[in-house]
């Protein structure tokens, strides 16, 4: 099992976050990486809260997984945050229900309403948040560190799986029989909102199915952009 060499460091990092950065939260987007972290947090019995963002446009398979997670890990229930109704209705009135197809700006405006604002509520009052980001995922993530200070949200951000490969993630999921999104078996390696996600073809980048009508260097929703400088420990 290739992941076994990286597992101790990942477990130690998670334990140190729970110990030294309480209250800490884990942003579970219900992707494959996030299911690894959910399983580890629950098995280690860590005092790390778990939350997820329901944008109102998620695939049915994602909602099914969310229910499975609740049944599998009752010790760590997932708190779900929703967009503000008024802001969502205003976006739809101004741009249309699928206005995000019209331009990068309109797509990012939709993400701001459905993801960024709920995220800020989820992070309020926390000392740290945890993500399932990996360097291998996309061009926009190759320079990420395993820990950074998120100046935009005023707390530390940790990426415990930053060095894991896609193969290692799946080795862990299968070895521990961890539930995952059924869309992964239909060539959806990266899953977001239903209208913004498609299956990929052999040889395509793993995030090619996200916002496929845009250039690769713009393919972030804003949750993980370095909009303001992030400082690394000791810098």
- For 150, the 3-state DSSP assignment is strand
Dist. CA 207–CA 209, nearest whole Å: 5
**DSSP 8-state code for residue 101:** G
Could you confirm whether 158 is annotated as catalytic? no
Q: At what angle do helices 7-20 and 32-44 cross, to 10 degrees?
A: 70
Tell me the HSE value of 18 on the side-chain side, using a 13 A CA sphere.
Answer: 17
- The structure tokens listed for 170 are 């799946």
- The structure tokens listed for 218 are 């713009």
Q: How many other CB atoms are found less than 10 A from the CB of residue 162?
A: 22
- Return binding residues: 110-111, 193, 196
Catalytic residue chosen out of the listed positions 13, 162, 169, 221: 221
CA-based nearest residue to 153, from 128, 188, 136? 128
Q: What are the Cα distances from residue 108, in Å, to 63, 119, 169, 206? A: 23, 14, 29, 20
CA-based nearest residue to 25, from 164, 179, 162, 153? 153
- Return binding residues for [4Fe-4S] cluster: 110-111, 193, 196
| Structural contact between residues 229 and 151, judged by C-beta atoms closer than 8 angstroms | yes
To which H or E segment does residue 7 belong? helix 7-20
Known catalytic residues are: 221
């Amino acid at each position: 099992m290739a992941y076994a060499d990286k597992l101790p460091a990942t477990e130690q990092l998670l334990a140190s976050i729970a110990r030294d950065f309480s209250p800490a939260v884990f942003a579970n987007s219900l992707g494959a990486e996030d299911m690894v972290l959910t399983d580890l947090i629950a098995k280690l019995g860590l005092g790390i809260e778990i939350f997820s963002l329901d944008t109102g446009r998620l695939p049915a398979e994602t909602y099914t997984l969310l229910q499975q997670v609740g049944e599998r890990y009752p010790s760590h229930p997932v708190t779900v945050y929703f967009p503000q109704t008024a802001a969502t209705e205003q976006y739809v009135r101004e741009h249309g229900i699928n206005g995000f197809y019209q331009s990068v700006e309109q797509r990012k405006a939709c993400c701001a309403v459905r993801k960024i604002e709920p995220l800020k509520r989820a992070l309020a009052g926390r000392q740290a948040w945890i993500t399932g980001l990996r360097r291998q995922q996309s061009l926009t993530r190759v320079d990420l560190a395993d820990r950074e200070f998120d100046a935009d949200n005023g707390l530390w951000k940790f990426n415990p799986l930053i060095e894991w490969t896609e193969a290692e993630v799946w080795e862990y999921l299968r070895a521990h029989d961890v539930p995952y999104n059924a869309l992964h078996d239909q060539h959806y390696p990266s899953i977001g909102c239903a209208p913004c996600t498609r299956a990929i073809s052999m040889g395509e980048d793993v995030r090619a199915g996200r916002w496929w009508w845009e250039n690769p260097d713009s393919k972030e929703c804003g949750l993980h952009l370095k909009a303001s400088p992030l400082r690394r420990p000791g810098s």
